[in-house]
Amino acid sequence: MHRAQHDVLVQRLREPRRFIEVIAGPRQVGKTTLALGAAVECGLPHRYASADGPAPPHVR
């Protein structure tokens, strides 16, 4: 499903100056899918990291 938010995010990611884009919202609404899809469409290098998982052993 293509959403208007996707188009806005892609447009902002393609601007010459890149600021931090914040994607906020409730759980399970597609924020990660939106961000990853936009990054792929723009051809931007990206990494995914989740703060929901347990901390690595060296951080505890």
According to the model, what pLDDT value does residue 60 have? 55
According to the model, what pLDDT value does residue 8 have? 94
Q: Tokens standing for 19?
A: 């600021």
Per-residue pLDDT of the chain (60 residues; tens, 9 = 90+): 578 999 999 999 999 876 788 898 998 999 999 999 999 999 988 888 777 777 777 765
Give dist(CA 10, CA 60) in Å, integer. 37
Residue count of the chain, please give it. 60
Domain segments of the chain as ranges? 4-42
According to the model, what pLDDT value does residue 1 have? 56
User: Which residue is associated with the tokens 């759980």?
Assistant: 27
pTM of the full predicted structure? 0.72
Give dist(CA 22, CA 53) in Å, integer. 20
